Structure 1
Amino acid sequence: MADGSAFAALIHDGLFDPSPSASILRVKDAVAKELTALDSTARVKRTDYFNHTFAPDFILTWPDSTSRRVYLRMAYDLEALVDDVALIDSTDPLIFGLTPSESVEAKPHVDEVIAESDAMFTEPAALEKLIDRKKSDSTANMLSNALAQGGRGSFVGDEAVELADVVQRGFVAAAEVESDGTARAVQTIGDRLQGQQAWRMNRVLQAVWEGSEGSLSTFPGQADVSGRLNMESLSYLVKYMRTDDRAFWRRVGRGLTLADLEGLDFEGASANVESLIQANLDVISARATIVKPDPLGLDEAVAGARFRWSKRGRHITFEAPKLFAVLGSAKTDLNDVDEEAAAAVSVDAFIERARQTDLVEVSIHSGPDHISVKNDEGAISTERLRGVSATFGGSAEVAQAIAGSRTGRVTVDLPERSGTGKTQSKVRMADLLVTTIPLVVDVPDDVRDGIAEFLQYEVDTGQTQLDMFRLDAIEGRDDPPLFAIEASADAITVNDLDAPAPE
């Protein structure tokens, strides 16, 4: 593909090719490359026309079935756009001038007429400047897509990058909860983008505002009161933003769920999705995981990283050397995951795996004989497990265990290589993985430590958190009571939610 600074030159050279057919071919080829560079998500389809009055030269289409027609024009007077827009049978045409525009003085009037019809006029040099900006400004990636799909008005000279300046400053202002700069961006986005594209951009701007603890009631624009960032806006943000700023992804991902992640495009934006996940490990919950051996999987020497997030089929997966873990919001979500041959683990092997785990309950069996080992006052000691296993006449194995994690207890099934959040505990995805993986597979110490480091997170103690749990049993109560723990920086309160209301 041509470099961003060469499109105008390619088009200029093509226009002066002495062969008319070759000239058309070269010009359309250069324009197609520039449109692709502007928005790589668009499919650029050529037609058999060239510089036709009302037939398009290209049709841009996107995966969501939206489309836009592109009309090429030769030497151009901007005032002619007023008549041209009326002739073109398209609701939102993109008119592409092949040579520099004339009559710039008339532009305010032309802008008004074009914008009213949702048409857009631009020229090679103006788009080149925005394309070049994409290399250093993540906001320009989103804006490029928005302009291709829904830009309106004329963009000549520096106007495309000037719009990028306003939008970029708006994101900075929203991150600082500063009204004036955010309001200017909201207004400019509304003026220069069609309705759907303007809504998307402003919804992302609102997410940054809210993620920076700005009040929705003070957001200087038409606020979306539906709550957290919806999937359309989240997908748009992940696809077109280009930044590894952890603070940014944390601000926009505070309501993130595993189901949200399953709806994102990993293939097209894996770096952004991974940044989004890593920044929000303290809020993403998962109910179940199955760990699978993968002898030919992720390898540091090949991939350049030992751990990563991925997607296999419809499931989010955590990838590590020689294994991967499939995640689900419920255990039934993983019914389509291929089962491995069942095999319990010897007590000695289990003790070695569990040396850094808080064990709450362990089921040991030898043939038909079965013993459940518990400790209501703390973690089970490995010596106790050895002692219990010695009471069996033959070899003893572990099939199931319950382990404590930072955010709740996890039931681990060793033959199935699975971990499931127990009862009402809302186990974080990271805690589920850190607890389950070392118990169900043999991993080297460096891999175990690497997993723990990769999945480490900090909780925002300045905000109130609410978690619920139900005791497995309590003396004098037939129904295990449901408790809520409300924790803030100042206090921890435990409430029995099933207790009778005071009279």
Structure 2
Amino acid sequence: MEQFSSFISGLAADDSWSRVSSIKNAMASLIEELGSGIVVESTEYFNHTFAPDLILHWRGENVTRAVYLRATENPEYIREDISTLAHEAPIIVPLTGSWGSQETDSLDADSAEAKTLVAQPSALSEFAEGQAGSPILGLLSKAVAQGGRGVIDGRRARTVSASISDGFVAAQAADIDRTQEAVNTTASILDELRADHFTRLLQAVWVGSGAPASTFPGAATSIEHLGAIELELLLDVATSATFEFWKRIASNVSLETLSETRISTASSNLQFLMKAGLDHFRAKGLRIAATEPGPGSDAGDKWLWFTQPGAVGLQASRFTTFFTPGSISDIDVSDTAETPLEIGLSELLDRARAAEIRVEGLTLEDDIGRQITYRSPAETEIWRDKVLYALTQSLSNRSKVVSATITLQSQKNLKCDMEKMTASGRTGAKFTLSELVQKAIPTLRSLSEQERREISQMHDGE
């Protein structure tokens, strides 16, 4: 605060515009410390009634917020600004002075109702310093910048930060009183949207830790289906969570929700969530493409999960598999589409035997376009079917498998298109990721012994 007061006191000097520039640059730098995604745009105005001094943007988000710097601490002037600018729900930063408790309480009520944040520089500094070493406080810092409301000085910023940090610890221990305090805190300083995100996030931690959803002390909210925003937040902030924690979270998340997010392979929490949810998450189909590094990571020889709009991906060293809750035609892999090697009947059956896959039927085609579509009798393993081998003799020596239908453990049939490198069932049919990983990938792709072993280990517990 003293830094800005000294600037303000010299505004009447000959270099006043230089001082204004210094004030705005210092404030922009302070606001940028609230989070890595903030972009601060400076305008040509200063202390203007209707034109903001700064405009905040967030990379990758359609969110902006105006910032008005004020060279006065007069509470009546600030109150007038709150009323005049209420339609913008801006941030107002008084650069000098402070108020007594009565004035503060009155301004807090007015600004909270107007969804306007009146933040002293000391408050912004507290949030910036807190978020640097804490993912949870990083989320709080961003939420305050985007949707904070009410009057916040340095002391209140410290109190709010402590309450939120303690609330997440309390939610993991199902501590009703401390969790309730955190819920109340977010409701008092954030707009309804962001307060709801925090409440649902706290409830997710509460349920993930094993406590019944009905005992959560926040506002009534369903966690039957955790939303994409709350899921991304949880994956960002969760620490030391157990396999059982992620299993409970997975039971409240759909593949549709996952495919609305963009989470890189660098997220260790996503890896835990996917491993815990392999038997829960369901996809309509998959497509295999040549490996291109997943967003934000060097995969090496690992199998790593990532998400992108429309699909959940599993990246291996030689290829990437995209699972979708929708149509496989919606998966855009045009830049990485893999040119499949033509495989013969013996190669397909070798793959099936190695992965214990039941092949129900297949289509073969030779180099002049003749096709045979064959389905073995019930209870007959296709690689033992002498009739099939006899039929293949009518094709030329250069025949290939065009598609194969396999039966999964759920007794559903899955058609694997060996040319398009896709797998899907009948309209509306969905399959667990566990089934698709264990059976579809080994059918479509030749795997080394190590890769087959890694796939089997993927389904292990902790």
Give CA deviations for 1:27-80 in whole Å, capped at 9, x if unaligned: 212222322321444443322222335542123345665543212134636686
| Residue in 2 that maps onto 1:309 | 305
C-alpha spacing 1:140/1:279, structure 2 compared with 1 (3 Å): farther
Q: Is the 8 A contact 2:285 2:425 kept in 1?
A: yes
C-alpha spacing 1:74/1:269, structure 2 compared with 1 (3 Å): farther
**C-alpha displacement of 1:405:** 4.4
Is 1:20–2:16 an aligned residue pair? Answer: yes
Matches within 5 A, 1:70-89: 70-74=67-71, 76=73, 81-82=78-79, 84-86=81-83, 88=85
TM-score by length of 1: 0.73
Aligned amino acid, residue 443 of structure 2: L
Q: Is the 8 A contact 1:54 1:89 kept in 2?
A: no
Give CA deviations for 1:317-366 in whole Å, capped at 9, x if unaligned: 32211211222225554586658767652233234433432232354757
| Residue in 2 that maps onto 1:345 | 343
Matches within 5 A, 1:88-487: 88=85, 90=87, 92-99=89-96, 101=98, 103=100, 107-225=104-222, 227-234=224-231, 237=234, 241=237, 243=239, 245=241, 249-266=246-263, 276-294=273-291, 302-303=298-299, 306-310=302-306, 314-331=310-327, 333-334=329-330, 344-361=342-359, 362-363=361-362, 365=364, 372-373=375-376, 376=379, 380=381, 384=384, 389=389, 393=393, 395=397, 397-405=400-408, 407-409=410-412, 410-421=414-425, 426-453=430-457, 455-456=458-459, 458=461
Greater mean alpha carbon deviation, residues 213-222 or residues 332-341: 332-341
In structure 1, distance between residues paired with 2:54 and 2:331 = 46
In structure 2, distance between residues paired with 1:360 and 1:423 = 21
Q: Is the 8 A contact 1:286 1:429 kept in 2?
A: yes
- In structure 1, the residue corresponding to 2:154 is in which secondary structure? coil
In structure 1, distance between residues paired with 2:48 and 2:403 = 73
Give CA deviations for 1:225-277 in whole Å, capped at 9, x if unaligned: 48422345445555x64657455554444232222222113479966655544
CA RMSD of aligned residues (A): 4.1
**C-alpha displacement of 1:432:** 0.4
Give CA deviations for 1:452-492 in whole Å, capped at 9, x if unaligned: 43x42559xxxxxxxxxxxxxxxxxxxxxxxxxxxxxxxxx
Aligned amino acid, residue 21 of structure 1: W
**C-alpha displacement of 1:285:** 0.6
C-alpha spacing 1:77/1:277, structure 2 compared with 1 (3 Å): farther
Q: Is the 8 A contact 1:298 1:322 kept in 2?
A: no
Q: Is the 8 A contact 1:97 1:122 kept in 2?
A: yes
C-alpha spacing 1:226/1:102, structure 2 compared with 1 (3 Å): closer
Aligned amino acid, residue 47 of structure 2: N
Give CA deviations for 1:88-111 in whole Å, capped at 9, x if unaligned: 565533222335636468544443
C-alpha spacing 1:48/1:251, structure 2 compared with 1 (3 Å): farther
Aligned amino acid, residue 95 of structure 1: I
**C-alpha displacement of 1:153:** 2.3
C-alpha spacing 1:424/1:313, structure 2 compared with 1 (3 Å): closer
- In structure 2, the residue corresponding to 1:439 is in which secondary structure? helix
| Residue in 2 that maps onto 1:44 | 40
In structure 1, distance between residues paired with 2:205 and 2:310 = 28
Q: Is the 8 A contact 2:358 2:408 kept in 1?
A: no
Give CA deviations for 1:255-305 in whole Å, capped at 9, x if unaligned: 3222222211347996665554444333111121121234x6579995456
Q: Is the 8 A contact 1:421 1:432 kept in 2?
A: no
- In structure 2, the residue corresponding to 1:71 is in which secondary structure? strand
| Residue in 2 that maps onto 1:35 | 31
- In structure 2, the residue corresponding to 1:345 is in which secondary structure? coil
Aligned amino acid, residue 448 of structure 2: P
In structure 2, distance between residues paired with 1:374 and 1:9 = 86
Give CA deviations for 1:372-415 in whole Å, capped at 9, x if unaligned: 445628xx486x36996478547565444444545554333333
Is there any run of 5+ residues in structure 2 with no aligned partner, and where? none
C-alpha spacing 1:431/1:370, structure 2 compared with 1 (3 Å): closer
- In structure 2, the residue corresponding to 1:114 is in which secondary structure? helix
**C-alpha displacement of 1:129:** 2.6
In structure 2, distance between residues paired with 1:91 and 1:444 = 60
In structure 2, distance between residues paired with 1:87 and 1:429 = 54
Greater mean alpha carbon deviation, residues 357-366 or residues 280-289: 357-366
In structure 2, distance between residues paired with 1:348 and 1:299 = 37
Greater mean alpha carbon deviation, residues 172-181 or residues 262-271: 262-271
TM-score by length of 2: 0.78
Greater mean alpha carbon deviation, residues 51-60 or residues 135-144: 51-60
Aligned amino acid, residue 46 of structure 1: S
C-alpha spacing 1:42/1:269, structure 2 compared with 1 (3 Å): farther
Is there any run of 5+ residues in structure 1 with no aligned partner, and where? 1-7, 460-503
Q: How many residues align?
A: 446
Q: Is the 8 A contact 1:299 1:322 kept in 2?
A: no
